[in-house]
Structure 1
Amino acid sequence: MPPSMAAGLFVWSFGAVFYLLGFFHRVAPAVIVSELMRDFQISAAALGNLSAFYFYSYVAMQIPTGILADRWGPRRLLTLGSMVAAVGAVMFAMAPDIAWAAAGRLLIGGSVAVAFVGILKLAGNWFPPRRFALVSGLALFFGIVGAVSAGPPLRCLVDLYGWRSVVLFSAVATLVVGTGTWIFVRDTPREKGYRDLSTVGAVSASRPETGMVGGIAQVLAYRNTWLLFVIPGGIVGCVLTFSGLWGVPYLTTLHGLSTATASTLTSALLVAWAVGGPFFGWLSDRMGNRKTLYLTGCGVSVAGWAVILLATDIPLTMLIPVMLITGFSSGCMIISFAFAKESVPAHLSGTVAGVINMGVMTGPMALQPAVGLVLDRMWSGTLADGVRVYSVAAYHSGFSLMLAWIAVSFILLLFTRETGCRQVVE
């Protein structure tokens, strides 16, 4: 008999919790901007680079991760990733200077890079194909829970115990998750006595071995792969550059909010993103359509970010609903993974997931330090408690880079080929 939904969710949940912890580390610098700048005596550009070190290794690991997921299986990949992430968190928490902190971030990013591709691989093996986009959306939900925990809850814990102690605790939690993954997770239902749902293994066995380079070349031969590599980077780049780093200081500068209040607003945007992901995944599966729904969500996101990033006289009573709508519509990016999976041969699902997730993370990897560089170039020399203060005009100049990318994403979506929620390439 095939596995029940509950059995699949139990196995899948270990990878999802690891992804949650990875997202926590991804956006944590947004809440401890002042502490990091003060402890390491760094500028906005240096802080942007420190935060982006996570993305440098994360992006670099995506294609290898996709290939390893196809070859090793998600269980070994997720277990090893958890152990290495715990080591990186310890390095970051105990860093005596910026170099050690950057090394810790680099190690964390490279190791948690396996999480999303790993849980997509588990989803493909443990759930029926018609549930893939929905489960992908649930994965994003778990990730955003991690991001939200790096908002007001992290701020409160940092105020009580200091940022280093909190990061050390996250290292212990990651180690526990890795241990549980090795004990309870299995790559396929067959390994737990169920009937396999996926036919990928059979398809793979019937084809000649293409090799690592051949697999990459094969997925890149399809137009949708290239387009879906660039498109989600603009959407996620806006979300994580704003909510993951520069949104809190921008809101405190523009509206005079406290750090705690501003982090609550950016976390609310992330919560809306978390809800939007499963909704767009479910609706896309139900409608049997990828492209039209993706275009709709992306179009709303472009308009919303234009208001959030450029409007100077908008009252909070209007800004908050705009942020929630923009975050929710940004959940449309989750369609990328099912869209791409259906556009390439089924046995290369892990490889194409790695390629697309690499594109997703290229957005914040490039935009976080780029915005910081613009801020430093426009800095007037103002300091507050030893931390640089930037003008609203400087933020607007930096944020224009984000708007440009998401506008390009919308245009490129027009050139994608609809799959109708079917595996169009065997």
Structure 2
Amino acid sequence: MRIIAETVALHARYHLTVVPPLPESRQREAVVLGDERFKVLAEQVDRRVRLGQPLMQETINRLNSAEQEGPGPATGEESGYNSQRARKNPNAASGGVDLEQTPPASAKAARGNPTFPKVTSRANAAPDDELNPRVTQEPDPTSATARLEAARETPLPKWRLILSVFLPFAAGYYLSFLFRTINASISPFLASDFGLGAAETGLLASVYFLVFAGAQIPIGVLLDRYGPRRVQSVLLVIAVGGTSLFGNADSFAELLVGRAMIGLGVAASLMAGLKAIVMWFPRNRVAFVNGGMIMLGSLGAVTATAPTDWLLTWCGWRSLFELLTIATLAVAGLIYFAVPESNEGPKRSVPSGKSLTLRSIFSDPRFLRIAPLSATCIGSSWAMHSLWAASWLADVEGFDRQGVINQLFTMAIGISLGALLLGTLADRLRKRGISTEALLAVCGALFMLAELALIMRVPLPSILPWSIVSVVGAATVLSYAIIADYFPVEIAARANGALNLLHFGWAFAVQYGIGLIVNQWAPQDGHYPLDAYQTAFGFSLALQFAALSWFAVPWLRSFVRFIFVPADGRAVLAPAVVAEESVLEPSQGIEW
């Protein structure tokens, strides 16, 4: 019953959207005609339910019989249909209202509609993709475009989807996550070999985020034009060159350039995977497959802890990057040769006719509301997890090398499971009427509480606040779901890229900024003091709190309106009450 009620409501809202408003002189006539039509509809539904003759089955039977008999003269089929209609419903012959059968389009156009003007364009349609169907002309089924569209819609076997689409792109995202978080493990070796301070270490780690962020918008355009297979495989070749240069670097400048090339090479890993999943997997499985890819990719953070530490002890950081060069080249070849070629036809325009520009994304008030919170929390989580968590654990908590690795390993497991947990929780809460925006706000608040616990040195096991910090890094699952609700499919990829730009841009700013602030204190016995980290983390926390406050402004306004409703000039503690007559009796309120 809930599904039926929602369907009827959407259908009604669609008609209210596409039908032009009536002048006041004709609204009374429209109400009378609508009342008459509804009574006929109720009678027909009641009769069909009692007799057990659903309209669906009757329509199928009529179409089957028409196919067997074949078409008659030019209007013979319509004449037989209309005579049958007249026998079944005498009102139809006399011009009465008949909702069981829909007259042919030609008769409908000839007769016209005396009450409601005919819609001839999309000018009056609201930009609501949920409501507006595609009213563009359907292609000829014999045309090349139609054959191409039919070929694209032919589903691949499940085993091939997993082996040739899901796993190759999951491997690419795995490498992206590994390169993102590996600096926490290799930074002590780099600092020892090249004499790097906190500022240089922060810049070396954060340049990955800077290049990654700058490439998001161009990559979104390239993915739409050339497809994820070609874009991802070519960019991974750039990552191969960056990994090779980083592993053979003899100076800080070479390390910096190599790290930047790695960031550019893996910049499309997540977006390409999401694009490929939308292209090849059934729509009802996209959310689940997205969560699976993000969860498997997050295992790169796990690999960057204990397994990487073991390899560093065994072969050193330069040999480790030689292995990563080979692995990156293998994944690039796998994506290029194993992923099937896309047969996507030309993109259709947005039904509302709005131009698909970056300005329309960055000027959208909903985007401007969610972007600061998502960027400050998720970007800060990435910056802290991938570099400064290890420094805090060593300098403040006093952990040895093995203790730091064990804690980073636990945090990496948390971000991997967090992606699946947040996705599942958002889906279940949404079914209960709790929005994904509310869950994102809760995640942001928990993240700030965890940072506050670290800054104030609350007597808790350090793994607890740091695990919360790492799990918030998986909240991109929530952000991407929210953005998908805000924008149509044609612009959703670029909207995600715009949000990614802010995520990684903020990660760069925080990771490098913390290094600059911490570097203002002189190290004592090779460790930076607690005051340095408290100041750096506190500055980041203040910006996150400002972003959460901005995000909560509409809710606070709604809460104030809910609590304080003016009544005869006095404030009362009661929600607004809407008169039932204005909702239940449309004939009493002609102003539609």
Q: TM-score of the superposition, structure 1-length normalised? A: 0.86
Q: Unmatched 5+ residue regions in structure 2?
A: 1-153, 556-592
Amino acid at match of 2:544: I
Structure 1 CA distance for aligned equivalents of residues 348 and 505 of structure 2: 31
- Would you say the 8 A contact 1:148–1:267 is kept in 2? yes
2:480 to 325, 337, 349: 337
1:393 to 508, 517, 531: 531
Counterparts of 1:30-109 in structure 2, within 5 Å, are: 30-109=184-263
1:296 to 428, 442, 447: 442
Specify the alignment match of 1:2 in structure 2. Answer: 155
State the SS of the aligned residue for 2:396.
helix
Q: Which has the higher contact order (CA 8 A, sep 6+)?
A: 1
Q: Deviations over 1:361-411 (max 9, x none)?
A: 1222111110111111122x5354xxxx20111111111133223323433
Q: Unmatched 5+ residue regions in structure 1?
A: 418-426
1:248 to 378, 381, 390: 390
Counterparts of 1:281-320 in structure 2, within 5 Å, are: 281-288=423-430, 289-307=435-453, 309-312=454-457, 314-315=459-460, 318-320=461-463
In the TM superposition, residue 412 of structure 1 has moved relative to its aligned partner by 3.8
Counterparts of 1:207-222 in structure 2, within 5 Å, are: 215-222=357-364
Amino acid at match of 2:552: L
Amino acid at match of 1:335: L
Are residues 382 and 70 of structure 1, via their aligned partners in 2, closer, same or farther at CA, if it must alter by over 3 Å? Answer: same
Which structure is larger by alpha-carbon Rg, 1 or 2? 2
User: Which structure: greater helix fraction?
Assistant: 1
Amino acid at match of 2:540: M
Structure 2 CA distance for aligned equivalents of residues 242 and 146 of structure 1: 16
- Would you say the 8 A contact 1:37–1:43 is kept in 2? yes
State the SS of the aligned residue for 1:180.
helix
Specify the alignment match of 2:545 in structure 1. Answer: 407
Counterparts of 1:154-165 in structure 2, within 5 Å, are: 154-165=308-319
- Would you say the 8 A contact 2:350–2:488 is kept in 1? no
Structure 2 CA distance for aligned equivalents of residues 132 and 413 of structure 1: 28
Question: Identity, % of aligned pairs?
Answer: 24
Specify the alignment match of 1:229 in structure 2. Answer: 371
In the TM superposition, residue 329 of structure 1 has moved relative to its aligned partner by 4.9
Amino acid at match of 1:414: A
Aligned length: 397
Specify the alignment match of 1:422 in structure 2. Answer: none
Amino acid at match of 2:447: S
Structure 2 CA distance for aligned equivalents of residues 89 and 135 of structure 1: 29
2:267 to 113, 117, 141: 113
- Would you say the 8 A contact 1:301–1:330 is kept in 2? no
Amino acid at match of 1:9: I
- Would you say the 8 A contact 1:152–1:263 is kept in 2? yes
State the SS of the aligned residue for 1:31.
helix
State the SS of the aligned residue for 2:474.
helix
Structure 1 CA distance for aligned equivalents of residues 554 and 419 of structure 2: 20
In the TM superposition, residue 134 of structure 1 has moved relative to its aligned partner by 3.7
Structure 1 CA distance for aligned equivalents of residues 504 and 168 of structure 2: 22
Structure 2 CA distance for aligned equivalents of residues 143 and 373 of structure 1: 30
Find out whether 1:361 has 2:507 as its counterpart.
Answer: no
Q: TM-score of the superposition, structure 2-length normalised? A: 0.63
In the TM superposition, residue 313 of structure 1 has moved relative to its aligned partner by 5.6
